[in-house]
């Protein structure tokens, strides 16, 4: 009995050794290492591949036991040394390291963080720098790893550029720079990053599809992305379920694809929700498409729309802003009136009583207020008046209304008025809210999990709190993702 047990143990040890030893065939050259060496860097491609939990997913060549990669073997020498030593020893003389284009491409493929391959910046942010914080498990914060961040942290890899517009989704992010480049990063599933594959990117990567075309807006939905060019063309990519991409089908697209139905309209704004999309034309017309459940498309039905369809109910109303929440939609008219429609079991539509709306309905409680901007979260909404006051309504389970309680409110109520000379911008995440004041100060409130408030809080915040770590910077823009937040700085004060 003991002999058989010893024999079994010996066989198990041999099998473990075989699993531990790894032979990588890169471009025809064999490299030997150990799975534990690679698994020590879980944020990289090989680290994920050789993690113990993924052992059942590995598929070596059945004849040689090797793992084949059709990549550059010369570059891979530096990559393997990084796994072995924890340092990326780049070619160069007298410490003046350079990263040639081929090596940089290989580093990106194997997901070696750019901050280790020469992506270094300044210690502080200048004009057009962005700070991100909150949940980072997919690299959506752009810091080169998958860590969550409790306090605002500079995205160093974008420092050579001046960011002019940015957007956050559930697990991915996007930005446009002054030099005309579009960058995306984070979770790559379903092609939502637009790079032609499903790879995650832990730092911003330039989206090269558009070439010389001038992109003026990029928007992240939950699982898809949209972009708008200066000549009014709309592009979408990512998950195509429910027709949210507007390409007449439900297929995924791994690269940007023009929404051709809108080509005859001059579009000036696009918005992405969790499961639907909307566009606003220069003439003030709204088009919506995607999941129709609960009336979120505004077509007086629950039918899905695989291509953009005009919201007829608002014909004749001059709309100047369109927003998609998780399951509802909002529009702002030139005269300051606010219309909402879609799912409502918590007051997020702001009509004073609960009930789904299948066509746009005006929020009467805001009729006496000149609204200049609106924002939609997943379960709540907000509006900004021309006097700099913030109004919120909807679900308040995490304090996201900022009204010093956690009770849902079905009608708009004022939250901030006159602080810092008045508020100039409001943004909503799933369960948190942010407001930017005239003097460039940032306030957040709501759910504290993952650090999305940037306050190092240990509990939900039911009233607005200043993000003091950004006080030295003048913040000119803020956006909220589902679980994270980003701020755009115009430099130090």
Per-residue model confidence as pLDDT tens digits over 306-362: 999 999 999 999 999 999 999 999 999 999 999 999 999 999 999 999 999 999 999
pLDDT digits (tens, 9 = 90+) for 190-221: 999 999 999 999 999 999 899 889 999 999 99
Rounded average pLDDT over 18-23: 74
**What percent of the chain clears pLDDT 70, i.e. is strictly above it?**
91
Q: Is the pLDDT of residue 3 over 70?
A: no
**Same-domain check for residues 238 and 342:** yes
Q: Would you say residue 177 lies in a domain?
A: yes
Higher pLDDT, 65 or 92: 65
CA distances from 453 to 113, 262, 326, 430, 450 (A): 26, 37, 20, 12, 8
pLDDT classification of 127: cutoffs 50, 70, 90: confident
**Same-domain check for residues 247 and 269:** yes
pLDDT classification of 42: cutoffs 50, 70, 90: confident
Q: Is the pLDDT of residue 158 over 70?
A: yes
Q: Would you say residue 121 lies in a domain?
A: no
Range scoring the smallest mean pLDDT among 25-34, 54-63, 203-212, 306-315:
54-63
Higher pLDDT, 350 or 102: 350
Higher pLDDT, 201 or 37: 201
pLDDT classification of 160: cutoffs 50, 70, 90: confident
Per-residue model confidence (pLDDT) at position 26: 95
Domain boundary residue among 83, 116, 149? 116
In the numeric block, which tokens belong to residue 183?
Answer: 């960058």
Rounded average pLDDT over 143-152: 93
Range scoring the smallest mean pLDDT among 86-100, 278-292, 359-373, 441-455:
86-100
Per-residue model confidence (pLDDT) at position 15: 39
**Same-domain check for residues 315 and 209:** yes
pLDDT classification of 122: cutoffs 50, 70, 90: very low
Q: Would you say residue 108 lies in a domain?
A: yes
**Same-domain check for residues 144 and 290:** yes
Rounded average pLDDT over 108-128: 63
Question: Domains in the chain: how many in total?
Answer: 2
pLDDT classification of 107: cutoffs 50, 70, 90: confident
pLDDT classification of 113: cutoffs 50, 70, 90: low
pLDDT classification of 124: cutoffs 50, 70, 90: low
Higher pLDDT, 188 or 99: 188
Q: Is the pLDDT of residue 57 over 90?
A: no
> What mean pLDDT is reported for the chain?
90
Per-residue model confidence (pLDDT) at position 116: 43
Higher pLDDT, 243 or 85: 243
Domain boundary residue among 116, 151, 185? 116
Per-residue model confidence (pLDDT) at position 493: 87
Range scoring the smallest mean pLDDT among 33-37, 398-402, 466-470:
33-37
Range scoring the smallest mean pLDDT among 242-246, 286-290, 311-315, 418-422:
418-422
Q: Would you say residue 96 lies in a domain?
A: yes
**Same-domain check for residues 94 and 223:** no
Q: Would you say residue 293 lies in a domain?
A: yes
Per-residue model confidence (pLDDT) at position 43: 77
Per-residue model confidence (pLDDT) at position 30: 93
pTM of this structure: 0.79
**Same-domain check for residues 131 and 109:** no
Q: Would you say residue 122 lies in a domain?
A: no
Per-residue model confidence (pLDDT) at position 91: 56
Provide the Cα torsion 296, 300, 301, 307; round to 10°.
-70
Domain boundary residue among 69, 96, 116? 116
Range scoring the smallest mean pLDDT among 54-68, 163-177, 293-307:
54-68
**Same-domain check for residues 288 and 250:** yes
**CATH number assigned to the domain comprising residue 81:** 3.30.710.10
Rounded average pLDDT over 261-286: 96
Q: Would you say residue 223 lies in a domain?
A: yes
Q: Is the pLDDT of residue 62 over 80?
A: yes
**Parent domain of 90:** 2-116
């Amino acid at each position: 009995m003991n002999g058989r047990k010893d024999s079994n143990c010996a066989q198990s040890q041999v099998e473990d050794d075989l699993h531990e030893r790894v032979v990588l065939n890169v471009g025809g050259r064999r490299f030997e290492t150990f799975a534990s060496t690679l698994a020590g860097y879980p944020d990289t491609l090989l680290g994920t591949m050789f993690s113990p939990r993924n052992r059942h997913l590995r598929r070596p060549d059945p004849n040689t036991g090797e793992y084949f990669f059709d990549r550059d073997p010369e570059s891979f020498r530096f990559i393997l040394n990084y796994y072995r030593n924890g340092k990326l020893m780049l070619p160069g003389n007298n410490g003046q390291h350079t990263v040639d284009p081929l090596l940089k491409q290989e580093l990106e493929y194997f997901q070696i963080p750019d901050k280790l391959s020469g992506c270094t910046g300044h210690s502080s942010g200048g004009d057009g720098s962005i700070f991100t914080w909150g949940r980072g498990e997919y690299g959506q914060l752009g810091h080169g790893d998958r860590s969550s961040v409790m306090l605002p942290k500079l995205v160093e890899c974008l420092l050579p550029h001046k960011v002019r517009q940015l957007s956050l989704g559930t697990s991915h992010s996007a930005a446009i720079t002054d030099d005309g480049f579009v960058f995306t990063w984070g979770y790559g599933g379903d092609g939502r990053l637009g790079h032609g594959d499903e790879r995650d990117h832990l730092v911003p990567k330039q989206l090269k599809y558009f070439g010389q075309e001038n992109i003026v807006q990029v928007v992240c939905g939950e699982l898809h992305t949209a972009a708008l060019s200066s000549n009014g063309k709309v592009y979408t990519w990512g998950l195509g379920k429910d027709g949210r991409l507007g390409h007449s089908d439900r297929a995924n697209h791994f690269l940007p694809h023009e929404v051709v139905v809108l080509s005859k309209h001059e579009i000036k704004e696009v918005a992405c929700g969790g499961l639907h999309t909307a566009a606003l034309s220069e003439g003030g017309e709204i088009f919506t498409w995607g999941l129709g459940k609960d009336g979120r498309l505004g077509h007086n039905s629950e039918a899905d729309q695989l291509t953009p369809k005009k919201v007829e109910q608002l014909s004749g109303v001059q709309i100047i802003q369109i927003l998609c929440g998780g399951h509802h939609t909002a529009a702002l008219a030139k005269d300051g009136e606010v219309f909402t429609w879609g799912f409502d079991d918590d007051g997020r539509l702001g009509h004073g009583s609960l009930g789904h709306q299948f066509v746009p309905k005006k929020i009467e409680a805001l009729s006496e207020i000149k609204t200049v901007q609106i924002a939609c979260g997943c379960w709540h909404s907000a509006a900004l008046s021309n006097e700099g006051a913030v109004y919120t309504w909807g679900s308040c389970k995490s304090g996201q209304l900022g009204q010093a309680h956690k009770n849902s409110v079905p009608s708009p109520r004022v939250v901030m008025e006159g602080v810092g000379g008045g508020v100039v911008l409001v943004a909503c995440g799933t369960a948190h809210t942010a407001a930017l004041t005239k003097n460039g100060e940032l306030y957040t409130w709501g759910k504290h999990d993952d650090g999305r408030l940037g306050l190092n809080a240990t509990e939900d915040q039911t009233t607005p709190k200043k993000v003091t770590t950004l006080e030295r910077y003048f913040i000119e823009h803020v956006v909220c993702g589902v679980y994270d937040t980003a701020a755009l700085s115009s430099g130090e004060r």
